Amino acid sequence: MSFKIVILGSGRGSNAKAILEAEATGQLGEASTVAILSDKKEAPILDLAKQFGKSAHSIPCNPKKARLNPEETEAFLKIIQELNPDLVVLAGFMKIIDPQFIESLDGKIINLHPSLLPCFPGINSIENAFNFPVKITGCTVHWVIPKIDAGKIIDQKAVIIEPNDTLESLSVKVHAAEHLLLPDVIRRLSTGAIPFSK
């Protein structure tokens, strides 16, 4: 039985790559990626889709606006509804989505965030944790609700900030933790080990 996922991302796609590699090596449970969607035509995440034989879609969006406008929302939803996924995965998707977007997916949407929420929501989370400074940060996968970075937490992975860490070395460690956490959460959702209770 297949558990279809659609990945949305805006940038380099290292987390999408971790998902696709887990899938290719049989470590994604019942999950299979059906497509990658991006708000940026030139995003490297779309090249990854092609590299792994998945369909890639770019939806032209206003780069100056943080929030998707109604037309952009409709364009994303049209493609997603045609693909009919069991789960939508926000992996570095840097646009704010409307409640309508979330509701029409019946809440089957998760987000990856580079901090231990509820600490350091929003942007520049790794830098904000480093500068605070806290001693432990990490990453979170949570259900998406209309309030940003505030949905019920599904799982987290901690990262220790060592005295000799730089922002660069910390970023590498947080991303490495993300690359383990996100595919593992998808695997467990796909097998029912994590229930769909939002």
Q: Catalogue the active-site residues.
A: 113
Cβ distance to ligand GAR smaller for residue 84 or 113: 113
Cβ distance to ligand GAR smaller for residue 85 or 114: 114
Q: Which range, of 4-12, 96-104, 152-160, 186-194, touches ligand GAR by CB under 6 A? A: 4-12
Binding-site member from 6, 7, 8, 13 for ligand GAR (CB under 6 A): 13
| Alpha-carbon Rg for the chain in angstroms | 16
Q: How far is the CB of 92 from ligand GAR (least distance, A)?
A: 3
DSSP 8-state code for residue 152: P
Dist CA 57 CA 36 (whole Å): 6
Type of residue numbered 174? V
| Residue 156 touches ligand GAR, criterion: CB under 6 A | no
72's enclosing H/E stretch is helix 70-83
Of residues 59-88, which lie at the interface with ligand GAR (CB under 6 A)?
A: none
Of residues 118-137, which lie at the interface with ligand GAR (CB under 6 A)?
A: none
Q: Which range, of 10-18, 71-79, 100-108, 184-192, touches ligand GAR by CB under 6 A? A: 10-18
Residue whose entry in the numeric block shows the structure tokens 């995003």: 43
Residue whose entry in the numeric block shows the structure tokens 């790794």: 126
| Residue 15 touches ligand GAR, criterion: CB under 6 A | yes
Name every residue whose Cβ is closer than 8 Å to that of residue 182 and which is 6 or more positions away in sequence: 15, 18, 19, 89, 91, 112, 141
First to last CA, the chain: 23
| Residue 178 touches ligand GAR, criterion: CB under 6 A | yes
Q: How far is the CB of 84 from ligand GAR (least distance, A)?
A: 24
| Residue 113 touches ligand GAR, criterion: CB under 6 A | yes
* Tokens encoding 182: 């996100």
* Tokens encoding 186: 């998808």
DSSP 8-state code for residue 96: B
Distances in Å between the Cα of 20 and the Cα atoms of 53, 80, 155, 164 are: 10, 18, 20, 33
Cβ distance to ligand GAR smaller for residue 115 or 190: 115
Q: How far is the CB of 139 from ligand GAR (least distance, A)?
A: 6
Binding-site member from 9, 85, 138, 151 for ligand GAR (CB under 6 A): 9
Give contact residues for ligand GAR (rule: CB under 6 A). Answer: 9, 11-15, 91-92, 112-114, 175, 178
